[in-house]
Amino acid sequence: MKIALAQLNYHVGNFPDNSARIIAAILKAKVDGADLVVFSELSVCGYYPNDLLERLEFIREALASIEKIAESCIGIAALVGGPSINPSPKGKMLFNSAFFLQDGAIKSIHSKTLLPTYDVFDEYRHFESNMEFNLIELNGCKIAVTICEDLWYNQKVMSTFSRENLYATSPIEEYCRQNPDLMINLSASPFSYHQERWRKDILIENAVKYKIPIIYVNQVGAQTELVFDGGSVMVDKNGKMVKELAYFSEDFAIVDTLDKELYEIQPATETSEKIYQALVMGISDYFRKSGFRKATLGLSGGIDSALTLVLAVKALGAGNVNVLLMPSQYSSDHSINDAVALADRLGVKYETLPIHEITLAFERTLAETFRNLPSDLTEENIQARVRGTLLMAFSNKFGHILLNTSNKSEAAVGYGTLYGDMNGGLSVLGDLYKTEVYQLSRFINKYEEIIPENSILKPPSAELRPGQKDSDSLPEYELLDAILFQYIDQMRSVQDLILDGFDETIVRKVVALVNRNEYKRFQAPPTLRISSKAFGFGRKMPIVARYPL
């Protein structure tokens, strides 16, 4: 049997556009002789619609779209993802379902059992867990249809008292008791730099354990913070790769279920390149799906804004990015030179708006109020906020979106000014620690110097007072990032870190900074997620709590 894998880039709630893409792929698959075409999880509405799923008009439009798509399924069958109504009057209203479309109609509905409700996932908020396990029969082939997390019953459970499984039921086990010939999985599995490996491991593990080929179709494209990397695959019953689709772009392929290990294994893409592609797609989809084309950012001569600019230019084109240089009396000449050099090299228009006159006006306005008080963080914050206001003014006037240039280390310890350099519609680097910012910059400079070497080599500085360096108030980034990664991403405790040999005073200082700055992160822009633990809605922390140490 010939099955088409349709890996598409959906727009949440854009039923006309999503339906058109789906119908086009159905027609193409039919022309190419496929018996069945498979789409990704919640394809009709895009993953993830969040509380739009609570709105009846949204559900009605989703269901109407599926009916319409079904009409094009003549002489070919399709599996399309979408919300379905729970037929029982008890429990949540919806299932997260795969609609089996054939002969112009919905033939059966197959729903998701394991509803991820952790990190960035919130599915039990909207869906009831499925407990019916019916196979599809198509051309004599018995097919088990699962949805994303259903494959992940055996996932490793992080940071918990000894656990075997996160869920009590294994839907694969339920299906495999009925001896299906094939398993199909509709997925929407967001990118993190480990995810491709984890995903392949799970697919192979399940194929081998249950002696069943698996066809896996993933969503591609970014939805605000989440980037979906595609990489749909077929593995045979021995866990060998039969087909692998593109990463970070739409793709389409037809496999024969009798195919075996036709696939020539490609060398794995290096982590920096994956992150690069994810961030570029993250920026480009954010703009396209919000109906914007042009970006503004502040270019300081430092590494973070330089890297952000390179990514923005790749995503939007040099003609669609404008940068502002906003020097103060504390800006070094080399900073301005590095910024100009980069803008020129990339062919990006820049304007120079010195902030001195404005900060002076603030000083004069506040002179009486602050009389006899020493200069402190307040004055540094004013500079950052003046720059933030200029960037927003430029964006407002010309209809641009401001890109934020902060990194994860800064977001973690609150080394940034709320309503100043924390401004922006989208945080591009907010899930990269400073050391990862350097790694990605070196990757970009691998074949030619794009980012000025000077921006990479010089000691990081916010340049908000004479001779200031980040290391005046923070540990060196190598050490800081190691502590942050253990505490935030690995959820290890202060005690664990001290036992690991980190200096107790530094650990306590860093952890206190992390906890004290929840209030800042609460108001941070949405952040493109590239790790398995990004700040944002994947890490929900209370603001007024006392954090145990």
Annotated catalytic residues are 41, 112, 148
Stretch that binds a copy of itself, among 58-66, 199-207, 251-259, 473-481 (CB under 8 A): 58-66
Contact between 548 and a copy of itself per CB under 8 A: yes
Site for a copy of itself, residues 478 to 507, rule: CB under 8 A: 491, 493-495
Residue 405 lies near a copy of itself (rule: CB under 8 A): no
Among 31, 164, 333, 466, binds a copy of itself (CB under 8 A): 164
Contacts of 518 (CB under 8 A, 6+ apart): 541, 542, 543
If binding is defined by CB under 8 A, does position 12 make contact with a copy of itself? yes
290-329 residues in contact with a copy of itself (CB under 8 A) are 290
Nearer to a copy of itself, 445 or 493 (CB): 493
Q: Which of these, 479, 444, 443, 441, lies nearest to 457 by C-alpha position?
A: 441
Distances (CA, A) of 499 to 480, 492, 495: 17, 11, 6
User: Site for a copy of itself (CB under 8 A): which residue of 137, 156, 178, 522?
Assistant: 522
Identity of the residue, 264 or 364, whose beta carbon is nearer to a copy of itself in the bound complex: 364
Name which of 194, 396, 401 is nearest 284 in CA terms: 401
- Report if residue 457 touches a copy of itself, rule: CB under 8 A: no
CB atoms within 10 A of CB 445: 15
Beta-ladder partners of 126: none
Q: Is 91 in the site for a copy of itself (CB under 8 A)?
A: yes
Q: Could you give phi then psi for residue 337, rounded to 5 degrees?
A: -60, -45
For position 372 contacting a copy of itself by CB under 8 A, the verdict is no
Interacting residues with a copy of itself between 412 and 441 (CB under 8 A): 418-419, 423, 425
Query: β-strand 105-111 against 94-102: which pairing, if any?
Result: antiparallel
- The half-sphere exposure of 169 on its side-chain side, counting CA atoms within 13 A, is 13
Least distance in angstroms from the C-beta of 62 to a copy of itself: 9
- Binding residue (CB under 8 A) for a copy of itself from 9, 195, 218, 223: 223
Query: Residue 181 class from Cβ within 10 Å (0-12 exposed, 13-18 middle, 19+ buried)?
Result: middle
Q: Closest CB to a copy of itself among 258 and 393?
A: 393
Could you give the CA distance from residue 46 to residue 63 in angstroms, rounded to a whole number? 13
Binds a copy of itself (CB under 8 A): choice among 69, 451, 524, 534 = 524
Of 145, 131, 227, nearest to 180 (Cα)? 145
Distance linking the first and last C-alpha atoms of the chain: 58
Single out the residue of 358, 480, 484, 528 in contact with a copy of itself (rule: CB under 8 A).
358
168 binds a copy of itself (CB under 8 A): yes
Q: Which is nearer to a copy of itself, 85 or 268 (CB)?
A: 85
Who's near 145: CB < 8 A, 6+ residues apart? Answer: 79, 98, 100, 110, 136, 183, 184, 185, 186
**Would you say 17 or 256 has its CB closer to a copy of itself?**
17
Nearer to a copy of itself among residue 11 and residue 30 (C-beta): 11
Least distance (Å) between residue 253 CB and a copy of itself: 28
Cβ 131 to a copy of itself shortest distance, Å: 10
